[in-house]
Structure 1
Amino acid sequence: MKHGLIRVGISGWTYAPWRGVFYPRGLAHHHELHFAADHFPAIEINGTFYALQTPDSYQAWRAQVGADFVFALKGPRYITHILRLKNVRTALANFMASGPLALGPHLGPILWQFPQNMRFDPQRFASFLDLLPRDTAEAARLAIGHDRHVPKAWTAIDRNRKLRYAFEVRHDSFRVPAFVDLLRDHNAALVCADSAAWPRLMDVTADFVYCRLHGATKTYESDYDEAALSLWAQWAKTWANGEEPADAARIGAPARRKRRDVFIFFDNDRRVRAPANAQELIRRLRA
């Protein structure tokens, strides 16, 4: 059995403190994505969490990356934090119409990040998972139902591609087998989030694994030392080979053995540790 593809990247790329540290001094800001994409095979787009973007923005991002590069998109907080998954069909159509499909082959997983005070509601999450389009053709059809908040819509696709979704939850009420089973029923990934503030859930629930490294001792700030990066490299290889780490803390039953793609994003950006940690993890995976 061949192993899955491991992609290590960063969460966002526009950070003033990175200039002159990760980015060369004097590099034009509009060249930063191109520079970052030369160092990492995947990057999370944070701006999609805060507001709807435009097709022009997605096309501009696509033009700055290589053929094998993929973006992970953060789903809008309007859906997760304001509507809290209630009556979200139009909001989801607006998101899909705002330009994600313009990324074409560079469209990677879509991340749904939930607030720390949001509890597990089985029916609400099941309804949302049922609403999510399974592929880009379904997404294009859903996008046609957008409203006036998307004055310039993008509903075209070059070919049909499967869509992947990852769920990052931050409340202990999700520590139940029912949530794991629900995600498995929909082939959605449970995010393995490493943070000082939230539980780290390691159940494998999809045909890919999605990890976010926020900083184990101080969220968004703390560094990952050699021992920690060696452990993450070992875990990534284990997941990619179709197995689960022997020390994984699971809620539900073990996952079926199959090779899986693995995405790992560093979000400990405040002290400019994310790019250095990501580069070192890539080096260890190649060793």
Structure 2
Amino acid sequence: MSGRIRVGIGGWVYEPWRGVFYPEGLRQKDELHYVGEHLTATEINATYYSTQKPATFANWAKAVPDGFSFAVKASRYCTNRKVLADAGESIGKFVHQGIVELGDRLGPILWQFMPTKIFDPQDFAAFLQLLPSSVDGVPLRHALEARHESFDDPAFIAMARDAGAAVVLADHEAYPAIHGADVGFSYLRLMRAQEEEVAGYPSADLTGWAKTTQGLAERGDVFAFFISGAKVRNPAAAMDLIARLKA
């Protein structure tokens, strides 16, 4: 049985989307609801920068329809550090801030590492041991976004697989495109949107990504997010990919 493909963007508050993706005059407090009507997922960026309140997560969950998923970006205090093995306290604070209030809208947690972070097998293994499999009885899924070429290593792939964590497949001109092992779900971050392309990506590229996500869905759920690049085009790219998958 194939998994479900969810497609979205990074965050939902971005001024240049107003009048381009969001209709003129739409209230800012209604923007997340609008995302929920047109896309099937989004990444929460706010959690990367600061701790949120349980009520905030609950309100976000109420704003979107059944079947929508939030990927939660882990705090920078967990990942932007010299010794990852020392992140235990920060990880505990992050997972217990109230993310369970997202309920069945809770998707994977994204652990993003700096482009300068080099793969240290011993330290990274210790970090993976700190990632909880659940919080308050709610199962957690973890996705690892490594941006340094040293992570393009069979040892890293095996380590992530053994921890049950997905390796983020990045489409970026500078970051390595690392294909992880099958852990029951996949996570893509597509970062080459071009402003001159109305749908962000050329049509042939979007066709290719549709085929890629459909192939990955044979192994489980797929989460695909259009981020950075020409950010103003990312909602259009996400909607285009959703339309291709429906077709």
Which band: TM-score by shorter chain?
over 0.9
1:266 aligns with 2:226: yes
1:224 and 1:84 map into 2 onto residues whose CA distance is 37
Instruction: Indicate the SS of the match to 2:139.
Output: coil
2:157 and 2:221 map into 1 onto residues whose CA distance is 19
| Aligned residue type for 2:12 | W
The residue aligned with 1:233 is: 210
Q: Equivalent residues in 2 for 1:82-93 (5 A)?
A: 82=81, 84-93=83-92
Instruction: Indicate the SS of the match to 2:111.
Output: strand
| Aligned residue type for 1:69 | F
Normalising by the residue count of structure 1, what TM-score does the alignment of the two structures yield?
Answer: 0.81
Instruction: Indicate the SS of the match to 1:274.
Output: helix
2:229 and 2:117 map into 1 onto residues whose CA distance is 25
Q: Equivalent residues in 2 for 1:104-253 (5 A)?
A: 104-135=103-134, 139-140=135-136, 160-215=137-192, 223-241=200-218
Instruction: Indicate the SS of the match to 1:66.
Output: coil
Decide whether aligned partners of structure 1 residues 111 and 272 sit closer, same or farther in structure 2, where only a CA change above 3 A counts: same
CA RMSD for the aligned pairs? 1.7
Q: 2:157 touches 2:180 (CA, 8 Å); kept in 1?
A: yes
In proportion to residue count, which structure has more helix?
Answer: 2
1:271 and 1:93 map into 2 onto residues whose CA distance is 32
Normalising by the residue count of structure 2, what TM-score does the alignment of the two structures yield?
Answer: 0.94
1:231 and 1:202 map into 2 onto residues whose CA distance is 16
Q: 1:71 touches 1:106 (CA, 8 Å); kept in 2?
A: yes
1:50 positional shift: 1.1
Structure 2 residue ranges without an equivalent (≥5): none
Q: Deviations along 1:56-96, whole A, 9 cap, x unmatched? A: 21121112011211100000011111365232221111112
Q: 2:194 touches 2:201 (CA, 8 Å); kept in 1?
A: no
Q: Equivalent residues in 2 for 1:2-81 (5 A)?
A: 2-81=1-80
Decide whether aligned partners of structure 1 residues 86 and 129 sit closer, same or farther in structure 2, where only a CA change above 3 A counts: closer
Larger Rg: 1
Instruction: Indicate the SS of the match to 1:215.
Output: coil
1:269 positional shift: 6.2
Count of residue correspondences = 244
The residue aligned with 1:143 is: none
Instruction: Indicate the SS of the match to 1:273.
Output: helix
Q: 1:43 touches 1:70 (CA, 8 Å); kept in 2?
A: yes
